[in-house]
Amino acid sequence: MAEKKIILTYSGLKDLEEELQNLKVVKRKEIAEIIKEARAQGDLSENAEYDAAKDEQGSIEARIAHLEKMLKNVEVIDEDEVDLSTINIGCKVRLFDCDLDEEVDFAIVGSAESAPLLGKISNESPVGEALLGLSVGEEAIVNTPAGSLKFKVLEIHR
């Protein structure tokens, strides 16, 4: 079975590559130094600093492996080539939230790049799925665990 493609914008790809570089170059070195200092304190069987540092090292290595696996299966969306006649991954949208009676802005991104608090919603989220393919003026009713939401598409842009 083929690996699932990880959809990213160029910005998202750059962020993941920078995180990977930081983990490999900076964080690995920092944690190695902490482990070295903890070892110098003597008996490792009762050394909480050593145990915590080894746990952190394991977390860092797991994140590095995860990022490397993701980056092998990346499909980059060129935001400059996205068709703006309908909502697609890589575009930004201005919506009217009919329930809150206010305008909201979102960028539609792949799930790996999703950051709802920063206005980046996944194409796989309930809202993202409901918006894909809509044009300006169309409405979407989104069923979420919190209830139904209604949005009207006001603008699609880069």
CB atoms within 10 A of CB 109: 28
State whether 94 and 117 are in the same domain: yes
Give residue 10's domain range: 6-77
- Domain membership flag for residue 1: no
Among 45, 77, 109, the domain boundary falls at: 77
pLDDT > 90 fraction of the chain, expressed in percent and rounded: 75
* Mean pLDDT, residues 100-122: 94
CATH code, 54: 1.10.287.180
Copy the structure tokens of residue 11.
Answer: 């910005």
CATH code, 120: 3.10.50.30
Is residue 13 a contact partner of residue 7, using CB atoms and an 8 Å limit? Answer: no
pLDDT value of position 63? 97
Number of structural domains, the chain? 2
pLDDT value of position 1? 55
- Domain membership flag for residue 66: yes
C-alpha span between 126 and 139 (Å, rounded): 14
